[in-house]
Every structure is written in C-alpha cells, then in structure tokens.
Amino acid sequence: MTVKKFNLPDVGEGLTEAEIVSWKVKPGDTVAINDVICEIETAKSLVELPSPYAGTVAELLVAEGITVEVGTAIIGISDNAPGEPDPAPASPTATAVPAPAAEPAAEQLEETLMYGKLPDDAGTSDGGPAGGPLVGSGPKADAVKRRPRKRTEGTAAASVAAPRTAPAVVEPVVEPAAPALPPVAEQQPAPISQGAANQGPAGQAPGLTGLGATVSGLVNRVLAKPPVRKIARELGIDLADVVPTGARGEVTREDLVSYQSQRDAEVDQADKFWGATKKPQDQRVERIPVKGVRKATAKAMVESAFTAPHVSIFVDVDASRTMEFVKRLKASRDFEGIKVSPLLILSKAVIWAAARNPSVNATWVENADGNGNAEIHVKHYMNLGIAAATPRGLMVPNIKDAQDLSLKELALALNELASTARAGKTQPAQMQGGSLTITNIGALGIDTGTPIINPGEVAIVAFGTIKQKPWVLDGEVIPRWITTLGGSFDHRVVDGDLSARFMADVASILEEPALLLD
C-alpha cells in the first residue's frame, strides 16, 4: 500500500496561500477522483477542493483554520498495492435496506404548488440578498397594503396537509384574513429571490376555486411550500433574505430555522455586546484576524484609493419610466419565473453608455512596455461586475461578455451571479477580468455614495435607492420615482467631460428605457 500526498494547488491566478476552512473527509474514508475533500478560502473566494486520487484517506496533514502556502502537502491518500486482498464483500444474506416510503399525497401536492407574481405596483422592485446581502439589497423603501384574501370553502389549497415534522421553535398558526405585504424594495440585489406575497390583478381579490386554478395561478420568484410561507409570515421573515437549499432551489423549513437561529443569535449578541462593564477595558477587546477575502479586499482597496486619482460625480434621475418598464417585464410571459428589477435596466444602461464612451471601459497599465511607459487598454468587451457583500467580505463577480446578452439573458445572468455569491460558491475565475462595476446600494436605503474603483478598472457606478419624491415636470410639482446615481472614475483615464457624458448617458436610459431599442 502506498500513500500519495496531495499538495495545495493554486486554484486562481498567482495565489500564494489559502486557509483550510473545513475538511469534508476524515481518516479511513474512501474517496474517488473529484470527490470534494475540503473547503479552502483563498484571497478571492471560498473554493471546494476535489481529490486528485482515489483510495482511502490516510491522514489529514493540516488542521482546520490553518493558512498554508501553495505547494504544501495537506492530505495523504492510500491505495491498495498489487497483491493486497480487496475488502471482504458484503454477505449475500445481508438484509437490503428498504426503499423510503413514498410521500403522502398531500406532501406531493405541496411540492407542486408555486406562488403568484408580485403585485403590479409601479413602486415594486425585487428584494435583495440573504445570508449576506448583495450590495443593493436590504430594507424596503415603501409598504404596500394587500387586498384581503378571499377563500372558497372546500378549496383544494385548504386541504393541503400540514408538514409531517416541524421544528420545535416554529408553530404554524391560523393565517390572518388580510396579511400585509412585506415592505417593497427598490432595487435588486442582491443579486437575486424575493418574498412578496400573492395578490391578484388590480381591482380583483385573489380567489381559489379549485386545484386547477390553484396550480395554474401560483407561480412565484421564490419557491417555497405553503406551510413554509405561512411560517415565514408568522416569524416576520422575508423569504428573499433566506438562502434556499431545497433540491429545486426552494426555501425549506430547515432554512427558516437556520435563518431564525442566526437572527436570534445576532439579537443575543447585541444585548451582550458591551460585555461586563466592570472588566478592564483591555479585556473587552475582540481581536479578529484579517485573512482570506477580507485581507485581499482591504489591500486592493487601499492600493486603488491611493494609486488611482478618484473623481466622483452625481446625478438625480427620474426613473418612473424604468419602474413602469420593470412592471411590464414582470407581467410578460417571456420573463415568467425570472426575477426582474431596476438593476437589470441599469446594467443595460451601463453597457450602452460604455459603448458610446469607450474609455470608461478600460485599464491603466503601468510600465506596459518595460521602459516605464504606461498604456491605457480599452476593452472591446464588457465583463460587468456586480459588487456583493458576503459574510466573508466584499466580492465583485462579473458577467463575462455582458454586451452580447439579450435583456432576458442578462436577467438570468444577474440572478445566477447573486445566488452563487449568496451561497458562497463564487469561484476565482468569476471575479477576474472585470471591466466596469456596479455597486447597488439603493435597496439598503442609501441614496448614493462615493465608491472606490475596483482594481484593474477605471470606473464604478453606485445605484441609489428609488423612492417617490416631489419632482417638477412641465412646470408642475408631481410625485415621481427618483434615484441618484454616483460614479467614481480614475482621473488618469476618465476626465471630467468624459465622466459627465457617460453618467448622462446612463441617466438617459433610466429616464427613457426605449432608447435601448436604438
């Protein structure tokens, strides 16, 4: 029997070290080629590491939480040498494990039920992230009341059985007759699911007259069983804030329990945050190591802020027609089941404006010719970055060749980018080669900001919250949906005139999305 040692590889471009976050195997386990053996955190993301060998785990050479350099042996895997007997076969008389019983009909029915679309309200916009928000998700700006839900006696939905098991901490209660919708967000986020309740067409109360009407009418952006939605409403949980782990991307009861436990822990920590006031102050200091993604981000931001001369400009935009356009897309059959938000229109606007002002889609390269002379590399492609705040730190994955995507394809790409970032599955390759970044801070309730340019780029756009404000239109003051765009630019490449023209072009699309048809 021989033991092969697996050295920590460079899973990105030029990475020098990584932390062993968690082992997925232990000594004695049997692994096959490409089985995941551990999770590592590099300077760019959390990565699952597959096994290059098949055999039995002989030893783990590095403990969890330890940072090691690339090339260090981290695990030993043994294989059976020639001539060694194979493990004894299982006894032919062994009792076969019975197959699991089929789910009751009611449970199968629950699996088939999906939910209705968001209310057709001009102010509605998709919610944001869960478990660590995508920048541009979070508190909602305005609340919208829902019409009372009328139920027909004997309806099929009422006959759905309660789940077979339920967490002890959540007890379903009778659903109120007229629950209120969760607050309405102004931006996407976040990347990326939403938790708005059902509502019928304007002027019509949603009613259920039978199973056919129930199944045909229940389609939602966030998948969840009826009992799960009921529990979420009682706990005041927005399903958009919960990371789904179900087989088809649905939110499960276990997801709600995990989210509620985390939320309770945060409350407990807040109550205990100041600690025992009688202790000396030097004993009330928490030390948090800076490593992995956070360490790399901090270094990059400092280098960017003090290398590229930043200049920032801002513009207020009447985004009322964008909100109307988003509303129409949500009602469109072509976008059924796809999350749509104003971030989608902004992304298209940035791509469109960059084509008209190419120098914002560039990179400043020092000593490009080896003789100390710099170059500006203008990119004839758009790898559109979307800033994402995760528990492990700020990440900026990008959508490759976003300029080639249709509106629907871009919406799907944004949803995938956000869900991957929330789940902590963003890979280093997804964060490399960005050309221009959007930081969507609006749904966090922030009007605007002065973002720091992502290293290797020369421009970044901050998308502020969209909310109704008094606006002068044709000499009259009327309520309109207003947002503020903020842009930061590398003044070595983008001067004041270019930055102003670029931001004006982006604003013009938000004011009139029909310009995208040009």
Residue with token string 């209310």? 119
Residue 184 in contact with residue 144, Cβ under 8 Å? Answer: yes
In DSSP notation, 405-443 reads --HHHHHHHHHHHHHHHHTT---GGGGSS--EEEE--GG
Identify the active-site residue in 310, 377, 380, 491: 491
Q: Are 78 and 3 in contact (CB under 8 A)?
A: yes
Do the beta carbons of residue 464 and residue 483 sit within 8 Å?
A: yes
Is 491 marked active-site? yes
H helix or E strand, kind and range, residue 479: strand 476-490
Query: How does strand 436-439 pair with strand 459-463?
Result: parallel
For 75, list phi and psi in degrees, rounded to 5: -155, 150
Give the span between the Cα atoms of 368 and 461, in whole angstroms: 27
Judge contact between 444 and 467, C-beta under 8 A. Answer: no
Residues written for the chain: 518
Q: What is the DSSP track for 147-197?
A: PPPP--TT-TGGGPPPPS---TT----PPPSSPPPPPBBSS--------PP
The DSSP H or E segment spanning 324 is helix 320-331
Helix (H, G, I), strand (E, B) or coil at 294: helix
Tokens of 218: 């229940």
Burial class (CB in 10 A: 0-12, 13-18, 19+), 276: exposed
CA 404, 359, 136, 270 dihedral sign is positive
Catalytic site residues? 491
